[in-house]
Structure 1
């Protein structure tokens, strides 16, 4: 059989289908990991000759032997369900009972405003600005990394988060304190763009098929990353492009800042977002507004912060006051 007429490999089909359905690159990477793991666990048998029994055994292995978290086990299950439903066209149906990973209920780590200010004092430049936005706007780390010039509205003081978790757009607060640094960042971005245009014009990465619709978008100021990577890279087609900063670089900087601030409960980038939520609730902001600003699908997710504040008992007071 000629190589050009061979059917695409299973994992190539998985990737192609996820891109058609507009799954995020992170979800694509995660699903591919679990599908490969599932296949290797069953001695590289093709999933088409397996079914519910093999899936159940795999999930049991994750819970009992690997002792993964509940969210991790659910993630693996979602990846395998996607494989059977959308790639193999043979939905699994009921796979029967299997050991569920335990789901311990832990309250998120939150910091006081004073602690956050101490952390920020140990950051500088873009890292300081990104941490300020995670705390002042309630952004997730990846949402902060993906900000473009067009997402900042100085006049209305809002930040637009595009294709956030669940591929949904939302708007949130733009803290006034970050406006001068953002304006300076956009000025620097414009200068760097002019420099790139004079040396061949390396475009930024663009979402989905936007490049075909707007060929010049990649070299327009509006579409530039606010926090670009330090150097260009190759995209999936082999084209040289400029991507946003890698989240791991920001995570490292924030962790170092938290250690330098000598916190009793050091956290992570997500701690800044948690602290945004608790500060708003502490100020009396209604929980539905906080839900919208955070981009939570369910208000139940947002309610965890009321327990952090000790306000989850509908105003009931102790007999001792």
Structure 2
């Protein structure tokens, strides 16, 4: 009879243990519910860039355009040397899908002209930042390094000034000019100060005087060229050495940044390359490259 009384007690103990296990399982469910953000949360990746490849840089500039940019090229008598001059020299690159470029150099009795065309395709490895957004950040860094002067107010409304004013008004990411560049712009009619240099290492020193560049052709932002663009213009050399002018145009289209550097060094000391002529040539080339990218 004592054994029969003991068995129900054991059964009651087993029931209590099983109830405890069930309660523990329920507690685990409550812990999961307390952190709903960690369950089933989907991360939306930023959109990839428009461009997945880059053009062949040495073939991106046609012969007619090279004739205009490098006048001495048509004066090369030897056909093989002339063809080699048209072909250009590709810049060193380790990934042709990310960065490519081409250089041309042609000398003539009047001047030596240099041309560099560089394409950079920006790729973001951060899922929260798109390729185009990262390219915009890199472009802004280049524009800030160029230290463009503040656009001078003018009632004449020339095309160059309109480009600068329009782009400055429409872009919320354009950097504010430094105090020194603002002072340069405000005093440009009486005593122009040194113009800024391009961020490229091949650009002339920033100590070059901006008095060689007319006010309406000063370095400035450009409208109607890609998503955003700017132009820089600087002269190096003085006194007994030849004066070299370098015009740089940088523009961005989606996740591709294009840089054009166009330099001319006259053969004579007392000659300064014409700013408008060089800027027009460089901007025409930039427009052609932008159209080709969008085509």
Bigger Cα Rg: 2
Q: Identify, as 1 or 2, the structure richer in helix.
A: 1
Do they superpose with TM above 0.5? no
Q: Identify, as 1 or 2, the structure richer in strand.
A: 2
Provide the TM-score with structure 2 as the length reference. Answer: 0.28
